[in-house]
Structures are given as structure tokens and as C-alpha cells.
Structure 1
Amino acid sequence: MTFAPDALAVAPAASIRRAESAPALAALLLFGLTLFSPAVLNDGDTFWHITAGQWILAHRSAPSVDPFSFTFAGAPWTAHEWLSEVLLAGAFAAVRWSGVVILTGAAMAATAYILIRRLIRDLDGLALVSVAVLGLGLQLGSLLVRPHILALPLLTAWVVGLFVARDEERAPSFVLLPLMTLWANMHGSFLFGLALVAPLALEAFLAAPAEKKFSAARQWVFFGLLALGAALLNPRGIETLIFPIRLMGLKSLSGVKEWQPVSFDHVGGLELSLFALLGFTLRRPVHVSLLRVVVLIGLIYLALQHSRHSMLLGLVAPMILARPIAKAIGQPKLAPSRLSRPQIAVFSSLFLICAGIRLAAPIQRENAPMSPVAAIATVPAQLRDKAVFNDYSFGGFMIFLGIKPFIDGRADMYGDAFLDEYDRIVNGDAMALDNALSKYGIVWSIVRPTDPVAKLFDTRPGWIRVYKDDIAVIHARKDGLAPGTHQ
């Protein structure tokens, strides 16, 4: 897939002015897509994030030790995304699952609006649509009810603020600093925001006249130090800066799909974006400053190494490339006019209608791969409070129900050693399973029928199968059950 340069070059002034509604239209489309896509709830971590938010609201502080699992009960753990979790818990308390989806949709809408508002300074017509679709399309693979989505508007606004400062040859506005504080309390991606200051500060230094180089560098360094201070305004202090680095250093993350490298076994959003960029640059001269090329290459590397980082590439790359693409196709740079009051009224009404439809048809959580509703409903009361071995993806749902799991999605707390032990068990290592049953006093289990460990439980002396469906199978020790409690 490549851009058609001649078509992209057609951009009369009248067309450019019509782009004033593009940000609101993009925001509305992303809002509606999020609200009515069942896939946004296809993540087991959503459950424990909401529960963590409820815990924080109930205790009026972020936890310092694990209150949810039985294997790591009392071990050091802090909800580093505590503010996002409080927002999710608040939305859930207000209107249940429809609330958390609407909150997520609002975050996606704000992200789209901020990004497109930036792009229409340079692009219009097919060029704008192409860049916007490719950039926003990279957000869809990880569009889930999770803290990283709630932080996206802050990420986008921060990056826009830095690039605007460079365009206007000044230091970034101090108005950005509260965004950094919020961001640092919502998601670990704030570390990228801090890191981006460095190459842009160096760019400002190199681009400034000789007599102003020191002043330019001093302003950006001062802003960077203030931004670092703003990030440290969180319950964990400097530990918040270290956490994202420690998390990405976990070897066990390679078993999580969103942290795996791009496989290229099919053509997806990232592949299309890279093909489009390659095709366009082979047809038209695109001039990007060296330091921004370095940033762009770094983002591509991250996206190839961890598919999750495609979202970051999709938001930042369009801001780097918009002006070079506009120059390559001859589009003038015009400041778009703002929406009129009637247009604002129309778009506001459409947003409210979408939210109203979602509320009128409340989301009900049913039996699903991340929420084994039917299986959990059959667990005898005498087992629920006892030690359990569970599938990794079921842990969040169990926490949500008040059942302490063996494991859940908080890989940062469990660490590589424990996760390696879990992997050996779930993949059918009989010795590892027997060691865990003895070490942790496990009385029952809930795993996927396709997991090799499910067959091991069928052969454990003194264990019986209690329940099985297409999503989960439950086993229990005979001496922990009332007579006749099995299939």
C-alpha cells in the first residue's frame, strides 16, 4: 500500500478550511467505535483494575502490599496506575460496565481530537485522511478498558505541546506540567514523555543562532527538570520512574501477546503504516530533521519489539511527518477556523446520543474466555475461600469476585521466577504441579480445558473433576468437597 502523491497534492484553500470539522468527526467515530465494540472488554486485567480502584476509594490510599492474591498476600505492591483505577471504579459505580466503556470511549475521542487538531495545521483532504487513519488505526489493536487508554489524551497533548514549542522556537509551556503529574499517576508511559524532552531540547540548541544557543538549552533543561519534579508527585516517588524500566525488563513478558514482537505472519495496521511510509518516501522527497528521524526510528523499533508500542508510534509519528509530507505534496500551512456554535451543538448532541444508546442497552458480562461466569457459579461455597490454582487470564475476574487467585495479570509483582514456575505447571510439568500443590496447600483449580495441566489434574490422586465447559474446567481435592460434588 502506498500513497498516491498526485492525489494527495490536490488541496485548495477552500478544502483546507473545511477540515475544521475533522477533529470532532474523528473523535465521534472513535467514541462510537469504542462504545459498541465488544472487544474493548476482552481483557481479564480490567476486572482487577476496577477492584483496585474500589479498594483505593474504600481505604482512601493506594495499597502498599498485595491485598488480592493468596500467593503474594502482604508482599510489596502499589497500584502504580491508581488514578486510572479510581476513574474506572467511579465509572463502574455510576453505571456499571456501560460506564467504564463510555469513560474509555471519551479517552479515545479526546485522543483523536487532539491529534487531528494538530494534523490539520499541515494536512487536508486525502493526505489528512490517510495519515489520520493509519495513525489512529494503530490504536485499535490495544483498544481495551485499561489504564493505558485513559492516559492517551495526556500523552497526545504532551507531545503536541512539545512540538508546538519547537515550531514556535520557544520553551514548552508550564501548562504542560500538571499533565505530567496526572500522567505519572495514571500510566507508566509517562516515562516516554520525559524522554522526548531530551532530543527536542538538543534540536532547539542546534537550531538556535550562536548567541541564543545557551538560552535555548537552559530553557529546555529547566522545563525538563520541572517535568521530572511534576512526575515525582505520586504515591511512590522515584519508584514510579523505575517501575516501567523494571517491567519491560521482565523476561516473562514474552509470553504476553501485547509484549511480543511483531510476527509479520499477516498484514496488520503496523505493516500497512510502514508500507505506506516507505512507498511515499520513494515517490516524494520527505525531509525530516536528524533528531526527529532518530525518534521515529526508535518508535518503529519499539513497535516491532513489542506490538503494544504500535499505539505510541501511531500517535507520535504523524506529528513528526505531517509537515514534511505537506511540503512534499505542496500543501500550504493554514490555521483552520474553529467550529461554529451550530456545529458544536450538532456534535455534542451526537456524542450524547451515542452515550444514551449505550446506557439504554446496558452491557452484561456473560461467559467469556476472560470471565468464566458459568464455571465460577458452580464452585462450592466451601472451596471459594481456599487456595486455588488458576489460569493466568482468570485471575482478574476472580479478584473482582472476591476470590484470592494463585496468579493474575500483575506480572510486575509476581516476577520472573514465580511466572516461570507457573508456566512449567500450566504446560504440564507434573513435578512442578505436585510441588505447588504441597507448597501452597492448593485445594481446587480452575484452568482452561486446553491447558496441559488440566489433564494432569485428572490424574492426581485424591482429586476429582467438579465442572467442565468450553471455557474452564474445575478440579478439587475429594477431602475438601461435600459428598457427590462432581460431574
Structure 2
Amino acid sequence: MTVIAQFAKARAVADWPPLRRLSDVLGTLSPAALFSTLLAMGMVLYQATIFNDPDTFWHIAAGGWMIDHRQVLHKDIFSFSYPGRPWASHEWLAEIVMAGAYRLAGWSGVLLLFAGAIGVAAWLLGRGVARWLGPLGQGVALIAAFLVIGPTVLARPHLLMLPILVAWTLEMLAAREANRAPHGWMAILMVAWANLHGSFVFGFVLAGGFGLEALTAPGADRWKVIRDWGLFGGLIALAALATPHGISGLIAPFQIMLMGTLNQIIEWKPANFTTFTPFEGAILVTLLVCLAKGVRIPLIRVILLLFILHMALQHQRHQLVIAVIAPLLLAQPIGRAFGRAAAQDKPVTVAAKVFLAGFVVAMAIVRLVIPATRGDDAITPVSALAHVPPALAARPVFNAYNFGGYLIFKGVKPFIDGRADMYGDAFVKRYTQANNAEQPALDQVLKQYDIAWTITQPREGIVAALERRPNWKRIYADKYAVVLARTDALGAPVQTLIPAKAGTQTKGR
């Protein structure tokens, strides 16, 4: 009787008019749409990893400079090691948007900007896979995709291009399904893409692949395909040139990929399978489904997938690309293997749209009321830099690679930062040797650049090497950073500070 009574009570709650009304409203939203909303909400509320990249700082600083000076950067204005060196800010549009968000609402504004970008991408991706996959398939595809994307969810320009990448792939699929060339207005997306991030190259890869598929399709009117897809290709090529950097912006992504020191940067390292990762899991699940169900994929699309998979295996940063492209390319063949036909889009009611918009706005308000803050961490040496006297901070510094962005953000000219493409292979290699206290690289760097102080991570070889020298002195240390200075550069005596515990400081040695 107790079970029956509880069931009756639950039924009564479900029949409560407001709750039934909410259920009716949400019923017009697909599981994919709801997932997208929850994802955006999580991005707004959970900020633990999105700020784990030092480049966020210099991107915002560059965008702020361009807003103030109303011009795009074409040379280095930030470092003291290469002042005036030619440097094209190829992601200038993303940097201006990031700086604008920061100026409007601080770090919360940056969070909301990227939450919006990934939320829109998730919405589009969900709608794409929902055409061919059922609720379970949608859930598996979206969860796998965003688990793979997870490590790359950082406040950097690559996330701002994510909605464009998804929309671009959807249009390529729609064009092939309708046996036509992509719409010309996609060139507008290419203009934005080329000014946001170097991944616009994948737009050409996809267009070329689908164009080749159209050309080789049985019964295709090949002259018509060549004309229509050729015009589209020419249009997006012109669109990609519509940047402040012209042809150099078009070839910049390839120049970066040819750098010899890329393997020293985490995002450019090959995929690591020594431990299990979501990327490996996604590959295994995809293989399981495709092999077990005998999924048949058009040859050109297989080649596209294999090429992008190769890029993702070669460079971890490209896992983001395959994570959103693969579900869209595989949804149709997998759906057909399970006997599913294309589903019609369910119209979303006005009430559902209002509810969804209200939910997102509410989460944004929560984020603004409880503002995001930045403190000491592995890329943000707040306390360490605060203990550097202003006169010393104005002199040449040797800094950890991961601290360069923060130094730029705080107006200190670094020795090196995340713009490895500007510094070049030889400089990055020399920095690494000096940072590891290799002779004679360390002595040459100290002398050539008249290094007056250093701010590096505690375990770097340069720390122990300089502390053994009588003319160098430690002036601050915590678990994230160590500041050393030449005694002749200190001027007035500076009290050594070494925190004994978090939140406390004691006199050092």
C-alpha cells in the first residue's frame, strides 16, 4: 500500500498544472538542444580550466591595444627581446572581441563570451546529429564530442571559430544532399573565420572534399559541378584574403606548422596514448559502432575523416576539429545502418524559446553577480610580480614561457611569451637551453640581453644555477614562481620574501 500511495502522490505532482505546462514547453526542445543549454550553463558556472592558458593574457592585451589605437598590429610592441620585429596579429578580430568582453565585464565577460560560442556550437552540432540519430545516439555522439573537446576549452580564439566550423560542415552536407554548390553567402563566414583563427584552412579542406565528391558522383553533370563549385572555391579564396594581412595571412597557418620547435608546445604535441583519454575512447566507440553495424561511408568522406584524424593524431590541438566534424559526417551513415530515416526538424514553440533564452540570461546574471577572479596559479604569478619593485620590473627580465602572457597583460615586457611563431625556432631553442641552465647558452643570454631579474617556475634549472652565483639574490618565492635579481640591479636593499605557507610570508635566507 505504501508503494501505491507514493506512486499516486508522484502522479499527482506530475499532474500539477504548472509542472505539466513546463513539460509541454520543454517537449518541443530536442535532447540535443537541452544538452547544449546545459553545456553553456556549465561553461558559465565552471571556470576551473578555461583560464589555464597563458596566451589568454596577451590576446586580451593585443586586442586592447588595437581598440585604443584603432589599427591592427603588424609588429611586436610587447617584448624587449624583439622590439619592432614584424609580427602579424592574424587573430586580430578574436583579440578585439576578447578585449571588448574583458573591458565590459572583466573575467566574467570573457567567460560569458566563450560560453556563448561553445553553446551555439553545441546547439548546431546537436541539430545536425539529431536528423539521423535517435536520443541514445545523440547522447553518445554529443558526450563523446565534448569530452574530446574538453581539454581544449580554453579562453582563446580557437573557441570563437567553433560555431563557424560546425555551420560550415552542415552547409557542405546540405549542399551535397540537395545536389548543389554551397550558398555564396558562406563567403561571409569565411571572412569572419579567416580573421578569427588560422583554422579557416579546414574550410578549404571540407569544400574541396565535398566538391570532389560532387564531381565523382554517379550521373553528375561534371561541367556544372566544376562551374558551381569552382565559383564557390574562388569566392571563399577571395574571402580568405579579406584580412589586414592579405596573402601572408593565407600562408601563416602553414608556416607555423613547419616550425621545428612545435613539439615543445603542449597543444602541438602528438596525441598521447600512454594513458586512456576521451579521444582514445571516442575512436574506439566509433570503430565499434562502424565495424559491428557494417556502416558504409562514402569514399571521399572516409578520406576526409582519415586526413583530419591524422592531423589530430599529429597535433593535439586538432582534436577539437575532428570532435565536431566526425559526428556530422558519420551521423547519416550510422543512422542508416540502424535503419533510421532523416527526421524532420520539430518546430520549437515561442514558449520554449522564451524559456531557453530566460534560462541562459539567468545563468549569465548569476555569473555577473558572482564575478570570476584570477589568482596565483601556474600561469599567473600575481604575488611574485607584485613583489618586484617597479624600477626592477622596467629592466630586462628572463621569464618562464608560461609567464610571458601575464607579464604582457601587466605591462611588463617579457623575454619570451606564447607567440612562438614570431620568436622563431632558433630563439625558442636558445631560451630552452638557457632555462635549463645549459652552458654557454645561459651566460650568453644573460650578457647579451643584460638580464637584471628572472621570474621562473621553481623547478627550472636556471633557478638553482643563478642562486649559486654570488651576484644573484632571491627576492621572492612561492610554489608557483621564483623571482631572482642581480644584486647590482636592486639599488636599495630589498627584503627577501619567501612564503612559509599559503597566505603567510616570512623573511627569507
Q: TM-score range by the shorter chain?
A: over 0.9
TM-score (norm 1): 0.94
Return the alpha-carbon distance in structure 2 between the equivalents of residues 113 and 293 of structure 1.
25
1:88-237 matches, within 5 Å, as 88-207=98-217, 209=219, 212-237=221-246
Structure 1 residues 178-187 or 122-131, which shifts more? 122-131
- Secondary structure, aligned partner of 1:177: helix
Higher relative contact order (CA 8 A, sep 6+): 1
**Take 1:64 and 1:78, find their aligned partners in 2: how far apart are those partners?**
5
Q: Find the aligned partners of 2:378 and 2:58 in 1 and give their Cα distance.
A: 16
- Given the alignment of the two structures, is residue 32 of structure 1 paired with residue 32 of structure 2, yes or no? no
Residue in 2 aligned with 1:10? none
Among 445, 451, 454, the residue aligned to 1:436: 445
How far 1:242 sits from its partner (Å)? Answer: 0.7
**Displacement after TM superposition at 1:340 (Å):** 0.7
Q: Distance in 2 between matches of 1:19 and 1:417?
A: 58
Amino acid at match of 2:252: F
Q: Please, which of 400, 416, 439 is the counterpart of residue 391 of structure 1?
A: 400
* Mapped partners of 2:299, 2:339: distance in 1: 22
AA at the equivalent of 2:255:
R
Residue 53 of structure 1: aligned partner: 63
* Distance in 2, Cα, partners of 1:405 & 1:20: 50
Matched, 1:359 2:346: no
Task: For 2:474, give the aligned amino acid.
Answer: R
**Does 2:310 match 1:301?**
yes
Alpha-carbon shift at residue 19 of structure 1 (Å) = 7.8
8 Å CA contact retained: 1:382, 1:480 = no
Letter in 2 for 1:394: F
Residues 173-192 of structure 1: CA deviation (Å, up to 9, x unaligned): 01211000000000000011
Q: Is the 8 A contact 2:268 2:315 kept in 1?
A: yes
Equivalent residue letter for 1:105: A
| Structure 2 Cα separation of the partners of residues 337 and 253 of structure 1 | 46
Write the letter of the residue equivalent to 2:415.
F
Judge which range, 88-97 or 26-35, deviates more.
26-35
Query: Residues 185-334 of structure 1 correspond to what in structure 2 (within 5 A)?
Result: 185-207=195-217, 209=219, 212-334=221-343
| Cα drift, residue 208 of structure 1 | 5.1
2:421 aligned residue: 412
Distance change >3 Å, CA 19–CA 245, structure 1 → 2 = farther
Instruction: Classify the secondary structure of the residue corresponding to 2:483.
Output: strand
CA contact (8 A) 1:389 1:406 kept: yes
| TM-score, scaled to structure 2 | 0.90
CA RMSD of aligned residues (A): 1.3
Kindly indicate whether residue 349 of structure 2 is the aligned counterpart of residue 346 of structure 1: no
Give the aligned residue type for 2:215.
F
Between the aligned partners of 1:200 and 1:214, the Cα distance in structure 2 is 16
Structure 2 residues not aligned, in runs of 5+ = 1-25, 497-509
- Partners of 1:23 and 1:49 lie apart in 2 by 32
Shift of 1:20: 4.2
Once residues 19 and 287 of structure 1 are traced to their aligned partners in structure 2, the CA distance between those partners, rounded to angstroms, is: 32
Q: Aligned partners of 2:430, 2:284: CA distance in 1, in Å?
A: 41
Q: Tell me how far apart the structure 2 counterparts of residues 59 and 37 of structure 1 sit (CA, whole Å).
A: 31
Which of the residues 373, 377, 386 maps onto 1:377?
A: 386
Moved beyond 2 Å, runs of 4+ = 17-24
User: CA, structure 1 residues 41+59, in 2 after alignment: closer, same or farther (shift >3 Å)?
Assistant: same
Cα distance in 2 for residues equivalent to 1:445 and 1:133: 44
Q: Distance in 2 between matches of 1:416 and 1:206?
A: 42
Q: How many residues get paired?
A: 470
Equivalent residue, structure 2, for 1:453: 462
The alpha-carbon deviation at position 486 of structure 1 amounts to: 4.1
| CA offsets 1:109-142 (integer angstroms, 9 cap, x no match) | 0100111111111112211111111122221110
The AA in structure 1 aligned to 2:156 is R
Q: Read off the aligned partner of 1:447 and give its amino acid letter.
A: T
Q: CA-to-partner distance for each residue in 1:140-199, whole Å, 9 max, x for gaps?
A: 110000000011111111111111101111000012110000000000000110122111
d(CA) in 2 for partners of 1:19 and 1:255?
49
Which SS does the other structure have where 1:189 is aligned? helix
Q: Secondary structure at the match of 2:49?
A: helix
SS of corresponding position for 1:39? coil
The AA in structure 1 aligned to 2:473 is I
- Any conservation in 1 of the 2:94–2:157 contact (CA below 8 Å)? yes
> Alpha-carbon deviation of 1:430?
3.3
**Partner Cα distance (1:441, 1:486) in 2:** 23
C-alpha separation between the residues in 2 aligned to 1:259 and 1:308? 6
In structure 1, the residue matched to 2:485 is 476
Counterparts of 2:333 and 2:27 in 1: how far apart (Å)?
21
Mapped contact 2:124–2:166 kept (Cα < 8 A): yes
How far does residue 484 in structure 1 lie from its aligned partner after superposition?
Answer: 2.6
8 Å Cα contact 1:202-1:217 kept in structure 2: no
Partner in structure 2 of residue 69 of structure 1: 79
